[in-house]
């Protein structure tokens, strides 16, 4: 297992895959840790999570540098990722007990009835490379504080980040093995899911990976939360604030070099403002600086791996061959590393890859529609249903359209984002189950009814 610097293609580090004996020891240790951790008072768990936030904030540059080295994310974006991890820890340090307090329910006179929320056990978290800290802490902060223990299977190209995260929990004072990780290949994951000690599974990744993991966890009757791919529409109506929409749209498409499930990928633009918006979006993308992600002036770094760059370019090329018009970009940069420029496609046939598949890079697929109803149809014409963004000066109109969009998260006059205070989820091939807020922390607990009568 290797991690490479995507900006240079140089090998950073090589890691040994854990053998069966090592995996067995770590699962046994996780189970043993759960027995005492689940009995630890909520107040203590919250205090420890607050300590994690302190460790993150005290070492933000160190952790951000590791993210940039392994993923190629511009350093300021990596810093923002670490700070967001501290935020989610602070949120659950303040609210976990509130979200999981016993819920008293009146049933019959004289009876005491309530619902209590009890942890399940070790939870396997299969996490991706694109947000190597945030995706892990989005899982760990609520579910470990709920009394579960975490077993992380991270992507093989970000194992430096995985080890750093393990050390953070140790520095914060957590008992041994409340959070642990295993270094295994994808073909060994199903065996870990089937292990009796693993009581639940969460995955952030591709739809293909989600289906495979869900099939295994479902056959074992183990609950799961799956945040999968997305091809989010960015709807620009005829009354949209075009300057802001273009500026935010460029950010929404290119943040993390476009390697985000909730990035704006399909721009659905009313014909009345199509040319104006396209000109503005083109100007915004042309103004972005592509380069060394450690340099402060860099807006877009490299793709994270060579195979990701190749897949992205193949889909752009196939879309052009199918009839799409290449307005901007469209060729990998001739330099060391895995750099792909901001790219715009228009006049895209409905069966072209840019319309039907997730383009995981800085490629904007721009569609023209002549009505609000057509915008909704095009937006929903996707196997995915993760997020959607609507732009209009009439917020009532935007809210009405939001009700008709098939997505787990809809934002009006804002890019799609996750926030610890509100639930985050998908529909259709974008997965199921909630993360974050009160809803997310209750995914991996036993919701037990207690009924007492004299």
- Catalytic amino acids? 227, 261
Burial state string for 189-216 with b = 16 or more CB within 10 A and e = fewer than 16: beebbebebbbbbbbbbbbebbebbbeb
Rg over CA atoms, the chain: 23
What DSSP assignment string belongs to 32-69? Answer: HHHHHHTTS-HHHHHHHHHHHHHHHHHTHHHHHHHHHH
Nearest to 345 by CA among 361, 328, 369, 362: 328
Nearest to 77 by CA among 91, 90, 92, 63: 63
If phi > 0 it is left, if psi is from -120 to 50 it is alpha, else beta; for residue 434 that is: beta
Neighbours of 295 (CB within 10 A): 12
Burial state string for 222-246 with b = 16 or more CB within 10 A and e = fewer than 16: bbbbbbbbbbbbbbbbbebebeebb
C-beta separation of 2 from 156 below 8 A: yes
Longest dimension (CA), the chain: 79
Q: Which two tokens stand for residue 34?
A: 């759960």
What DSSP assignment string belongs to 326-385? Answer: EEE--S--SSSS-----EEEES--TTSHHHHS---SSEEEEEEESSHHHHHHHHH-SSEE
Three-point CA angle 160, 164, 165, nearest 5°? 120
C-beta separation of 365 from 336 below 8 A: no
Residue 245 dihedral angles phi and psi, to the nearest 5°: -60, -40
Determine the 3-state secondary structure of 90 from DSSP: helix
Element (H or E) spanning 215, and its range? helix 207-219
């Amino acid at each position: 297992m290797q991690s490479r610097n995507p900006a240079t293609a140089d090998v950073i580090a090589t890691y040994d895959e854990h053998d069966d004996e090592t995996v067995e020891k770590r699962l046994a240790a996780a189970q043993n840790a759960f027995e005492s951790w689940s009995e630890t008072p909520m107040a203590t768990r919250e205090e420890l999570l607050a300590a994690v936030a302190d460790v993150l904030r005290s070492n933000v540059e160190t952790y951000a540098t590791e993210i940039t080295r392994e993923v190629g994310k511009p350093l300021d974006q990596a810093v923002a990722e670490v700070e967001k991890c501290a935020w989610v820890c602070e949120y659950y340090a303040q609210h976990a007990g509130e979200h999981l307090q016993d819920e008293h329910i009146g049933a019959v006179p004289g009876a005491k009835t309530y619902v209590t929320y009890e942890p399940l056990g070790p939870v396997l978290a299969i996490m991706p490379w694109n947000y190597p800290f945030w995706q892990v802490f989005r899982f760990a902060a609520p579910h470990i504080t709920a009394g579960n223990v975490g077993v992380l299977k991270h992507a093989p190209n970000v194992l430096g980040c995985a080890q750093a995260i393990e050390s953070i929990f140790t520095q914060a004072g957590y008992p041994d093995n409340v959070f642990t990780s295993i270094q295994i290949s994808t073909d060994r994951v199903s065996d870990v899911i089937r292990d009796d000690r693993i009581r639940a599974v969460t995955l952030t990744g591709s739809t293909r990976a989600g289906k495979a993991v869900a099939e295994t966890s479902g056959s074992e009757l183990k609950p799961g939360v799956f945040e999968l791919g997305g091809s989010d529409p960015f709807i620009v109506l005829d009354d949209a604030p075009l300057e802001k929409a273009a500026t935010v749209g460029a950010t929404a498409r290119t943040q993390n070099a476009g390697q985000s499930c909730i990035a704006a990928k399909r721009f659905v633009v009313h014909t009345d403002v199509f040319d104006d918006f396209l000109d503005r979006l083109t100007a915004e993308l042309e103004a972005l600086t592509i380069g060394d992600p450690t340099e402060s002036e860099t807006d877009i770094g490299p793709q994270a791996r060579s195979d990701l760059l190749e897949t992205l370019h193949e889909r752009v090329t196939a879309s052009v061959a199918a009839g799409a018009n290449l307005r901007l970009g469209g060729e990998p940069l001739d330099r060391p590393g895995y750099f792909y420029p901001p790219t715009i496609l228009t006049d895209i046939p409905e069966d072209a890859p840019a319309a039907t598949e997730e383009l995981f890079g800085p490629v904007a697929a721009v569609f023209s529609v002549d009505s609000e109803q057509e915008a909704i149809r095009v937006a929903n014409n996707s196997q995915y249903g993760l997020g959607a963004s609507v732009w209009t000066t009439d917020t009532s109109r935007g809210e009405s359209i939001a009700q008709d969009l098939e997505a787990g998260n809809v934002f009006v006059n804002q890019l799609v984002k996750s926030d610890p205070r509100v639930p985050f989820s998908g529909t259709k091939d974008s997965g199921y189950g909630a993360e974050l807020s009160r809803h997310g922390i209750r995914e991996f607990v036993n919701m037990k009814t207690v009924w007492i009568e004299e």
